[in-house]
Structure 1
Amino acid sequence: MVPKNRKERPKEDLRKQILDAAKVVFKQEGFEATSIRKIASAIGYSPTTIYLYYKDKSEIIHALHTEGFALLNSRFSVLAMVEHPFERLKAMGRIYMQFAMEHSDFYEVMFIMREPVDYLANYCQNEEWMEGSTAFYALLQSVEACMAEGYFKNYEPIQMVMVIWAFMHGLCTMKIVGHLDQIATNKSQLPDPGTLMEDTFQAFVRLIESTQ
């Protein structure tokens, strides 16, 4: 049903509705099967209206990519209150997991789907990707601060950033796509399947902490 007051909606409100609808359609049908017409239909508008805001679905998914990183970076902003660098790094991991669970639609666009990366490669080669860079350098700065305290001996900062990111991404992705729950359900030797994600995270924390 098309809302009666749709003509009165501010442009930014309509832009948000387009992105919210696109998130749902992309997640349900995948990028290739999604069309501007399907996104428009989800909010009760014509495709022509969508084209007033975005030239194609690639630009829409790039906008979602950007919005997701802005939201993640806003979550990371509270880390400035955590004084000890290793505690700050652990808190960053927890925020990352929480974000992935609460915003799995954004997470898939940001870290699983290839299309946003293709967009950056094709259209943003000469521009700095501020949102992604902000998240990356927040992790790098925390790692470097930990190294100043004696952690991660014999490793380069970028090496540890990639190890930590790869682990956290793998853990969150396994949870989102259902692999982690499948393991928890079918492996009776697990002490507590309900805490598998938390237990795995804690094991990783102990592992990297032992590098001090």
Structure 2
Amino acid sequence: MADTLQDESPAERRRQKVRAAIVDAAERVFSKEGEAGLSIRRLAEEIDYSPAAIYKYFGSKEELVDELKESFFERLMTKVDGASLVSQPFRERASHSFAKYIETAIARPHHYAAAFSISAERNAATPHHDAPGAKPFDTTHKGRAFLVIAGLIAEGQANGTFRTDMNPHLAAKSLWASMHGVALLMIQLPGFPVMVPTPDDQLSQADFIRFHTELMFSSLCKTFPETPSSRSAP
């Protein structure tokens, strides 16, 4: 970002800073009030701008929301991609990447829920592949985050860890659905997993995330390896 701004004119740098300030304010409003509370007028109040000034940068609430969604997936992609590049054995890198998805989601629950729920009717009516002006999926931050997971599966198949009789993209979708489900459970039911009666009802969220991600990793393996956490957790 800094390198990009250095190559731009002063006017363009000011424009980018104002745009970033609007997005930051939108995220603050959304985190406190959700989608229903976010409007151009409410945003104008938050940052002491006129609605007309904000419309110079975002033509509609929907356009601003799309920017919010993409900014969340940029953060997610950075976390997951960073975890996948850490100099660790493959198992630790993969499990760490899966865990980062859940951790990033529950760290910003409103923003995460928005990334999947906002404009659902509009997206259902117009698939993203066919929407006018839509970016190809693999060029979006959401697509790149997904491809990191698919890439880890392909890497595991190439190094002999994972089964090779599965499509890495289909397996990545299945993992994504599983991580998404755990994230939403922890967002919508803050007491999870302690609220679910088990022999070990003191299991923390961090412990459960670690157990779940190791279980996901093991499910892809040629043989199902036992781990310390799978022996100690129910």
Shorter-chain TM-score tier: 0.7 to 0.9
Report deviation, 1:33.
5.1
Match of 2:194, SS state, is helix
User: Matched residues in 1 for 2:142 and 2:197: separation?
Assistant: 40
Per the alignment, residue 146 of structure 2 pairs with 136
Per the alignment, residue 97 of structure 2 pairs with 92
Per the alignment, residue 166 of structure 1 pairs with 177
Pick the aligned partner of 2:67 from 48, 63, 76: 63
Inter-CA distance 172–146: structure 2 relative to 1 (3 Å threshold) = same
Report deviation, 1:120.
7.4
Pick the aligned partner of 1:113 from 111, 117, 120: 117
Report deviation, 1:40.
0.8
Does the 8 Å contact 2:58/2:64 carry over to 1?
A: yes
Does the 8 Å contact 2:31/2:110 carry over to 1?
A: yes
Per the alignment, residue 150 of structure 1 pairs with 161
User: Matched residues in 1 for 2:80 and 2:209: separation?
Assistant: 22
| Aligned-residue identity in percent | 22
- Unaligned 5+ residue runs, structure 2? 1-12, 223-234
Does the 8 Å contact 2:80/2:97 carry over to 1?
A: yes
Pick the aligned partner of 1:181 from 168, 188, 191: 191
Pick the aligned partner of 1:51 from 33, 52, 55: 55
Match of 2:41, SS state, is helix
TM-score, with structure 1 as normaliser: 0.79
Report deviation, 1:151.
1.5
Inter-CA distance 88–13: structure 2 relative to 1 (3 Å threshold) = same
The alignment covers a number of residue pairs equal to 200
User: Matched residues in 2 for 1:174 and 1:81: separation?
Assistant: 28
Match of 2:191, SS state, is helix
- State which drifts further: 94-103 or 23-32: 23-32
User: Matched residues in 2 for 1:201 and 1:83: separation?
Assistant: 16
